[in-house]
Amino acid sequence: MIKNLIGGILIGIANIIPGVSGGTIIVILGLFDKVMNSISTLFKIKVSFKERLKCLTFLMQIGIGLVIGLVGFAKVLEFLFVKFEMQTLFFFAGLIIASVPMLKKQEMDNSKIKPIYFILGILLIGIIAFLNPGESGNIVKLETLLNTKLGLTYLLSLIGIGAISGATMIFPGISGSMVLLVIGKYHLFKGYVANLTTFELNILIPLVFIAIGVGLGIILSAKITSYLLKNFKQNTMSFIIGLIIMSSIIILPTNGYSLINTLSSTLMFIIGCILIVVFEKVKNKKRA
């Protein structure tokens, strides 16, 4: 249970960092197949109550951790990005890059990557990054959120935002935060999540609709991914690995490389890689 909660927290944290995929963190933690199968099983008709309850319990543990990660660490990440943005991004890049060999071994049984699908994955992330307008000037203040009129169209748009976030939340390589940045809704999403503890109705009501969208997005993404992995596993995993590798490259800053920043960021990248190697060794030791 504790492992699932911690995993959920890490997934939640990843989902509020533009460029970092929560799905990649699921892969790193070795929960990818279990999460996909649990979501898919939960919504099957011919499943025993015991099996459905088991899947629901597992997903609730992940979900509780995810909410804690999203809400509890939104402010922490804002601080890290203000003070140590480059180092934070290099740390996550190290985690992602080091997880690729593990992913290939676990999910593809070391079979060869299909080049065309691998390249398609790289191109998709490249296009999203190219369309990314950046963050400057888009911060949504609490006063703005509190004064926003909650009409039907607006609430439906929040379901759409939640669905995008949910669909990309568990799919490796694609960052929901980055997709939201591209469509200009990232700061709106983060603004609502970061201000949950104000307990204002104009914050809580939109969050309910965002949560509905997240749930729909997760279910749809899991169903599609489970189908693709079952019927086209090698092609799908080749595509996912392309997504993951490219996503770890595009999150890295393009400027600000002073000597101190370069050395400290390199150190954080190495630490990220080492953590994954140690995590993999501990996991293999437990299996043995």
Whole-angstrom Cα distance, residue 26 to residue 21? Answer: 9
Q: What is the DSSP letter of 113?
A: P
Q: How does residue 262 score in pLDDT terms, banded at 50, 70 and 90?
A: very high
pLDDT in tens, 42-61: 877 777 888 888 888 998 99
CB neighbours of 249 closer than 8 A, spacing ≥ 6? 93
DSSP 5-61: HHHHHHHHHHTTSTT--HHHHHHHTT-HHHHHHHHHHHT-SS--HHHHHHHHHHHHH
Looking at per-residue pLDDT, the higher value among 103 and 262 belongs to 262
pLDDT the model gives residue 136 = 44
Looking at per-residue pLDDT, the higher value among 20 and 91 belongs to 91
Q: How does residue 134 score in pLDDT terms, banded at 50, 70 and 90?
A: low
pLDDT the model gives residue 264 = 94
What value does the mean pLDDT of the chain take? 81
Looking at per-residue pLDDT, the higher value among 139 and 205 belongs to 205
Looking at per-residue pLDDT, the higher value among 132 and 274 belongs to 274
pTM of the predicted model as reported, rounded to 2 decimal places: 0.71
pLDDT the model gives residue 212 = 93
pLDDT the model gives residue 246 = 86
pLDDT the model gives residue 287 = 60
Q: What is the mean pLDDT of residues 114-137?
A: 78
By residue count, the chain amounts to 288
Looking at 170-174, 202-206, 268-272, which range is the least confident one? 170-174
pLDDT in tens, 171-201: 776 777 767 776 777 778 777 877 777 888 8
Task: Give the three-state DSSP class for 160.
Answer: helix
Strand ranges (E), the chain: none
